[in-house]
Amino acid sequence: MLVATIFRRNLQFLCLLFFLSSAGAAAANELQTLLSIKSALHESNTKVFDSWESTNPMCNFSGITCDSNNAVIEIELSRQNLTGSIPLDSICRLKSLETLSLGFNFLFGPVTDELNMCVSLRYLDLGNNFFSGSFPAIPLLSGLIYLHANRSGFSGTFPWDSLENMTNLIVLSLGDNPFDRTPFPSAILKLTKLKWLYLSNCSIEGKIPDGIGNLVELMNLELAQNYITGEIPVGISRLRNLWQLELYQNELIGKLPTGLGSLSSLEYFDASNNHLTGNLSEVRSLRQLVSLQVFKNEFYGEIPPELGEFEKLVNFSIYKNRLSGELPEKLGSWSAFHFIDASENYFTGRIPPDMCKKGTMKKLLILQNNFTGQIPATYANCKSLTRFRVSKNLLSGEVPGGIWGLPNAELIDIAENNLEGPITSDIGNAKSLSSLLLAKNRFTGELPSDISKASALVSIDLSYNQFTGNIPTTIGELKQLNSLQLQANKLSGLIPDSLGSCDSITDINMAHNFLTGQIPASLGSLPTLNYLNLSWNELSGSIPGSLSSLSLSLLDLSSNQLIGRIPESLSIEAYNDSFAGNNGLCSDKIRKFHPCLSEAGTSRHLRTVLFCFMVGFIVILLIAGFFCIKKMRKTEHGVSLKEDSWNVKPYHVLSFTEDEILDSIKQENIIGKGGSGHVYRVALENGIELAVKHIWHSNNTGNWKKIRSTTPMLANCGIRSREFEAEIQTLSSIRHINVVKLYCSITSEDSSLLVYEYMPNGSLWDRLHTCRKLALDWDTRYEIAVGAAKGLEYLHHGCDRPVIHRDVKSSNILLDEDLKPRIADFGLAKIVQENSKKESSTQIIAGTHGYIAPEYGYTNKVNEKSDLYSFGVVLMELVTGKRPVESEFGENKDIVDWVYGKLKSKGSVLSIVDSSIPQVQKEDAIKVLKIAILCTARVPALRPSMRTVVQMLEEAGPCQLVGIIVGKDGQK
Ligand SMILES: *[C@@H]1O[C@H](CO)[C@@H](O)[C@H](O)[C@H]1NC(C)=O
Ligand SMILES: *[C@@H]1O[C@H](CO)[C@@H](O)[C@H](O)[C@H]1NC(C)=O
Ligand SMILES: *[C@@H]1O[C@H](CO)[C@@H](O)[C@H](O)[C@H]1NC(C)=O
């Protein structure tokens, strides 16, 4: 008995001991597990693991929660900069783990089906990471209540079957993943506890099943940015708890379903960008709406008047439909209204006056309708307004003075109405205003000098009005001003000299006014002026020689009263009609004008011009003579650049001497080594920097072997050819804001120096691919694409004959200090080729591996279309951030093959967009990629022209005319 008792007690004790030690062992195991998780993620830039030391109690580690038995039940490590691949083998050893929260990190690599071993999980968040491969099947995780895997790089097919038994699921968030296309997964229709379903942008196609109506608990249903077709199912009207319904950017057709109006809790409804039709009468009872967006559809009919009573409505965007009638008078007057965009419909009547009643309205956009009446005076006090666009309507009367001075308005666009009266001096308060667009109205009066206090102005368009009086002399204070359109008014007086201080200006149009006096010489100092139209005025005096230093794509001084000599450097083909209708002008170069020298009774002015010309000529002679006798100096090659006579051909006004250039051609100044020659940076004494390209024509001395080896494209050519000279002449006459300026060439028997403007920011290649890499945001990349396209367009279409580049590539697109692109090395391949024609055995390849059009393989004939192909490759670089040839593309494959291989689904297309481009801009990037695909068509004839490419790119711009899409954020 006693023995038995003792035995029993011992047994109890032993059991207790056993139990305690096994619990202890389990805890020790879990500690080891956590430490191995830490070490797997050791590359993360985070402090969260600082407390994860074996000396600390495991349950006190940051991000860790234990249950009462000291078993880990929660890992909360979202937004911790975690990087590395996810150590599921360790994590799923934590048998009690219920919550695994790893969202918003930088985890990468595959998520394996080891995940299935985390059998206790109820909350799983892997969203907003950089995983690859497909999401694993997880049939064992049927206890899940929350599943987030949105925006995490998963592709392939999602294991929809695994959802079948997850009947407790409340949140399912899988959107923004490049899955393969899939019909709406029927497994979801059984998850009747779902409150939150986020399936936007994950390649769902086909119809939304009517059974969606079974998910009666749903508060949020997001199916935007998919390939959904058919009608919105009637079943949707059973979702009485719905608070947000997002269906935008699909291919939905038909009318809004009957019963939609019974979703009485609905606050956010967006069905924009579909093909929906019918009227909006279902919306009339959605009285809780905060945001209603149905833009870009085919809705017609009137806006239900009840909308004027919606007390929560703050966002209202219905642009690009066929809606008509009037907007409700009280629209937006109840709450902190934010924006309206009713543009591009057929609305009539007045602008609702009270949308800014609470002083919160940001944007009022109603352009291109038939609104009438005055601009309501209430908006003159709407200090919150940033954009005020009412252009292309039938508005009349005077603009309330306060509108001009709205302190936060960035854009005032009231063009193409019947508005009248003056711009008042209130404009001086418009400190944020960057665009003031008033064209085609009936405005009168003088321009207030206070306009110069609106110092953020970039674009002023007052054209086609009846403004009178002088252009204010204060205009020069507008340092940001880029475009000044004053044409077709009744302005008189002088063009203010101060205009020459508007350093940012590129376009000036003052045509069709009554301006008098001389053209201010100061205009010649505007560094970026590209377009100058002063035609049809009463300007007199001579054309200032300073205009020669501009690189203008348009110069129009016609129909004035100008006299004297047309400056030599402006007498080029591109400006042929620029001077017509000025009977007092003369020229020795342009036949239409009478020659200057033969004219009897030369005016004082002409004599001055002649004198300057002579002096210039003598100076050049002296300089040339100077070189002939100057002694040789050693260069890096041990050969003097000055031993030959150098023939200087200036094409722009030069502010340097050849000595300065020649002295700088030495090793330490090399900034680039190209196929056609080295490039040197030359810093002049006056601070100006130049880039000088040195091209050798000859290898007739043994000394130059070294040079030959670095310039394999060059072959013998004893004497420099006349074609070379002609070609250089053509290239140097090219003036365009997106083309690098060629200042002059300096040639000798053996080599040539081409003097270009220097671009401090290097090339696009440097910025995208090298250690000088910059985080170029999408807007910058897009601007570079458009600018480079315009430069090429000018080369192809803007000159006497097309200039084919033959070597378009990102390293030939240079960037100025504002990262604006300029095309470099244009036409050079031709020159080099021309020079070596006689050596027919040398096959010269124009172009660079990865950029060469396929037709080059079977014909040496290149034309503009070959440039198009190369440009398409550059666009692909911009969109993907990849080089044209990378090993990841596979053997013998280049970027074009790689991109074409990814075109099978929207998901995989999105996946090749540079990951540094934010999600919201990826669609914009895809638009540019589409253009790149057209450019790289195999058959040259199928590629568009550069002109078309420019148009397409402009249409693909991120700032569409009226588009506002309020942030659609998949991060829930
Ligand atoms: C993540 O990294 C960024 C940039 O280094 C840093 O600013 C931030 O504080 C880090 N966050 C955490 C939670 O460590
Ligand atoms: C769901 O549960 C049923 C019944 O237990 C079972 O037959 C089926 O295989 C389960 N489905 C999955 C995907 O595990
Ligand atoms: C404006 O009204 C005119 C005349 O009725 C009509 O021709 C035009 O299409 C209307 N434009 C818009 C945008 O409604």
Tens digits of per-residue pLDDT, 432-459?
999 999 999 999 999 999 999 999 998 9
The residue nearest atom 14 of ligand 1, judged by CA position, is 46
CATH code for the domain of 899: 1.10.510.10
Q: What is the pLDDT of residue 591?
A: 78
Highest mean pLDDT of the ranges 219-233, 747-761, 824-838: 219-233
Tell me how far the alpha carbon of residue 324 lies from the centroid of ligand 3, in angstroms. 10
Q: Within 6 Å (CB) of ligand 1, which residues are found? A: 45-47, 80-81
199 domain residue, yes or no: no
Band (pLDDT 50/70/90 cuts) for residue 24 is low
What is the number of the ligand closest to the CA of 349?
A: 3
Better-scored residue on pLDDT, 48 or 655:
48
Task: Report the greatest alpha carbon distance in the chain.
Answer: 148
Q: CA end-to-end span of the chain, whole Å? A: 67
pLDDT beyond 90 at 36: yes
What phi, psi does 757 have (nearest 5°)?
-70, 150
pLDDT beyond 90 at 288: yes
Q: What is the pLDDT of residue 702?
A: 31
pLDDT beyond 90 at 124: yes
Tell me how far the alpha carbon of residue 326 lies from the centroid of ligand 1, in angstroms. 52
Band (pLDDT 50/70/90 cuts) for residue 285 is very high
Band (pLDDT 50/70/90 cuts) for residue 708 is very low
The residue nearest atom 14 of ligand 3, judged by CA position, is 346
Q: Is the CB of 393 under 6 A from ligand 3?
A: no
Same domain, 788 and 861: yes
Domain count, the chain: 3
What is the number of the ligand closest to the CA of 320?
A: 3
Band (pLDDT 50/70/90 cuts) for residue 270 is very high
**What is the arithmetic mean of pLDDT over 849-870?**
77
Tell me how far the alpha carbon of residue 399 lies from the centroid of ligand 3, in angstroms. 22
| C-alpha 632, offset from chain centre | 51
pLDDT beyond 90 at 303: yes
What phi, psi does 855 have (nearest 5°)?
-65, -20
Q: Render 220-282 in DSSP notation, one character per residue.
A: EEE--SSEE-SPPPGGGGG-TT--EEE--SS---SPPPTTGGG-TT--EEE--SS---S-SGG
For residue 849, the enclosing domain spans: 764-955
Among the listed ranges 40-54, 297-311, 844-858, which one has the minimum average pLDDT value?
A: 844-858
Tell me how far the alpha carbon of residue 418 lies from the centroid of ligand 3, in angstroms. 15
Strand-pairing partners, residue 85, are 108
Q: Which two tokens stand for residue 787?
A: 């600018």
778 domain residue, yes or no: yes
pLDDT beyond 90 at 96: yes
| C-alpha 212, offset from chain centre | 39
The Cβ of residue 430 has, within 10 Å, a number of other Cβ atoms equal to 25
What is the number of the ligand closest to the CA of 322?
A: 3
Same domain, 860 and 806: yes
C-alpha separations of 299 from 197, 346, 688 in Å: 27, 11, 59
883 domain residue, yes or no: yes
Q: What is the pLDDT of residue 302?
A: 97
307 touches 328 (CB < 8 A): yes
Alpha-carbon distance of 655 to 649, in angstroms, equals 13
What is the number of the ligand closest to the CA of 342?
A: 3
Question: Relative to the CA of 348, which ligand 3 atom is closest?
Answer: 14
59 domain residue, yes or no: no
Q: Which two tokens stand for residue 665?
A: 């051609």
Tell me how far the alpha carbon of residue 210 lies from the centroid of ligand 3, in angstroms. 40
646 domain residue, yes or no: yes
Band (pLDDT 50/70/90 cuts) for residue 485 is very high
Same domain, 819 and 726: no
Give 597: exposed, middle or buried? Use CB within 10 Å, 0-12, 13-18, 19+.
exposed
880 touches 895 (CB < 8 A): yes
Q: Which two tokens stand for residue 95?
A: 């048998």
Q: Is the CB of 346 under 6 A from ligand 3?
A: yes
C-alpha separations of 17 from 3, 25, 26 in Å: 20, 12, 14
Same domain, 720 and 768: no
472 domain residue, yes or no: no
136 domain residue, yes or no: no
The residue nearest atom 5 of ligand 1, judged by CA position, is 45
Same domain, 783 and 882: yes
What phi, psi does 490 have (nearest 5°)?
-120, 40
pLDDT digits (tens, 9 = 90+) for 558-587: 999 999 988 888 887 667 788 999 988 988
Q: Which two tokens stand for residue 762?
A: 């290097």
11 domain residue, yes or no: no
The residue nearest atom 1 of ligand 2, judged by CA position, is 165
140 touches 115 (CB < 8 A): no
Last-in-domain residue among 757, 776, 798: 757
Same domain, 861 and 899: yes
Same domain, 802 and 747: no
pLDDT digits (tens, 9 = 90+) for 359-415: 999 999 999 999 999 999 999 999 999 999 999 999 999 999 999 999 999 999 999
Last-in-domain residue among 757, 780, 815: 757
Alpha-carbon distance of 694 to 711, in angstroms, equals 11
Sign of CA dihedral 928, 435, 331, 394: negative
- State the Rg of the chain over Cα: 35
Q: What is the pLDDT of residue 841?
A: 30
Residues in the chain: 972
Same domain, 651 and 720: yes
Q: What is the pLDDT of residue 127?
A: 95
200 touches 172 (CB < 8 A): no
- Residues contributing to the annotated binding site for ATP: 693
Band (pLDDT 50/70/90 cuts) for residue 859 is low
Q: Which runs of E-coded beta strand occur in 132-187?
A: 146-148, 171-173, 182-183
Question: Relative to the CA of 394, which ligand 3 atom is closest?
Answer: 1
CATH code for the domain of 706: 3.30.200.20
Strand-pair category, 220-222 with 204-206: unpaired
The residue nearest atom 10 of ligand 2, judged by CA position, is 165
574 touches 556 (CB < 8 A): no
Same domain, 882 and 932: yes
Q: What is the pLDDT of residue 847?
A: 66
Q: What is the pLDDT of residue 711?
A: 25
Closest of 694, 657, 660 to residue 679, by C-alpha: 694
pLDDT digits (tens, 9 = 90+) for 720-768: 456 666 667 777 777 888 988 887 777 766 677 888 888 888 889 888 8
Q: Buried (b) or exposed (e) across 286-312, using 16+ Cβ within 10 A?
A: bbbbbbbbbbbbebeeebbeebbebee
**Which of 79, 81, 83 should be mutated for ligand 1, with most atoms under 8 A from CB?**
81
**Which residues are designated catalytic?**
807
Q: Is the CB of 159 under 6 A from ligand 2?
A: no
Alpha-carbon distance of 893 to 762, in angstroms, equals 28
Tokens 């008078």 belong to which residue?
Answer: 329
Q: What is the pLDDT of residue 613?
A: 52
Strand-pair category, 83-85 with 204-206: unpaired
Sheet containing strand 418-421, strands side by side: 396-398, 418-421, 442-443
Q: What is the pLDDT of residue 631?
A: 35
Last-in-domain residue among 757, 780, 797: 757
Q: What is the pLDDT of residue 696?
A: 66
Band (pLDDT 50/70/90 cuts) for residue 857 is low
Same domain, 622 and 669: no
Q: Render 850-863 in DSSP notation, one character per residue.
A: TT--GGGGT-----
Tell me how far the alpha carbon of residue 366 lies from the centroid of ligand 3, in angstroms. 14
Same domain, 736 and 783: no
pTM over 0.85? The answer is no
Q: Is the CB of 763 under 6 A from ligand 3?
A: no
Same domain, 660 and 789: no
pLDDT beyond 60 at 15: no
Give 600: exposed, middle or buried? Use CB within 10 Å, 0-12, 13-18, 19+.
exposed
